[in-house]
A = this chain, B = another copy of it.
Amino acid sequence: MELYQTYLAAVEDCLDRLFRTDAPYRQLQEAMRYSLLAGGKRIRPVLTLAFCALAGGDWQRALPLGCALELVHTYSLIHDDLPCMDNDELRRGKATNHVVYGVTLATLAGDALQPEAFGMIAQAEGLTAEQRIEAVTVLARAAGADGMVAGQVLDLLGSCSDLAAVERLHRLKTGAMIVGAAELGCVAGGAGPALRAAAVDYARHLGLAFQIQDDLLDVTADTQTLGKPVGSDRREGKTTFVDLLGEDGCRRTVADHTAAAQAAIAPFPGNMFLSRLAGQLAGRKR
């Protein structure tokens, strides 16, 4: 997908310009950049750009919003890997932040990424003050105490063992930010209420498909392909979608959510990129 590569390159370039100052606290900037530039699919900012384009806006204007959300996503990965959370040493085939920089600096790097993200939205060029304020609201809701962090609490401290509870957990933990990414694109592109609602619907289904596929890969892929130890969710005693639906059930449910995501945006001309993206994520191997 050529357009994906265009979006991806713009996102990487935007992120690579950040935190380059040669300050006495340079190690903080290094730690932030280490995780921020560790690659990854950049699905969230790509969604932001794509929904801005689908709304008829110039996708480049959505770049600071998508990258701001990616900053928050990155902080969440750094903190999620900490010893007091999932205690993971490997992510995307690289040592996790606290393994390289220590727990203190990793915690602080995550802490600093959050205000930087909101500052980036506030400074976004080419958007009105009203658009920027709405973007702050969207990101705050996605990342806050009724969004991603609530999902983290349920994941780490809750006892989610039935399908409804596990779905709710993932709607919050990963879904809220994926929905937020799509909404940010709508804000930047000036989408009307119908497209905004469709974007939320698309992102909800995409988020669940993504997570179920993640659980499936956790038991079917090998460590080298995945870039992290396989079976890690199982070892931690968490109930996964594979436990609840079985492998075949997971494949069917991923297909159902992918079709529902595609149906949500079907009425909007120019939906091909987002429709194909949903299909490709459903078939991904890592």
Contacts and interface: CB of A to CB of B under 8 A. Distances in A.
Given A104-B157, A150-B23, A137 B119 contact: yes
Nearest to A136: B122
Contacts of A222: none
Max chain B Cβ within 10 angstroms of own Cβ: one of A84, A105, A168: A84
A146 interface: yes
A153 interface: yes
Interface of A: 19, 21, 23-25, 27-29, 32, 72, 75-76, 79, 82, 84-85, 103-105, 107-108, 110-116, 118-119, 121-123, 128-130, 132-134, 136-137, 139-147, 149-150, 152-154, 156-158, 168, 172
A190 to B, nearest CB: 15
A209 to B, nearest CB: 23
Chain A interface secondary structure, helix, strand, loop or mixed? helix
B72 A84 contact: no
Contact of A133 (B25, B75, B129, B152): B129
B153 A108 contact: yes
Nearest to A82: B107
A158 B119 contact: no
B122 A137 contact: yes
A24 B158 CA distance: 8
B137 A115 contact: no
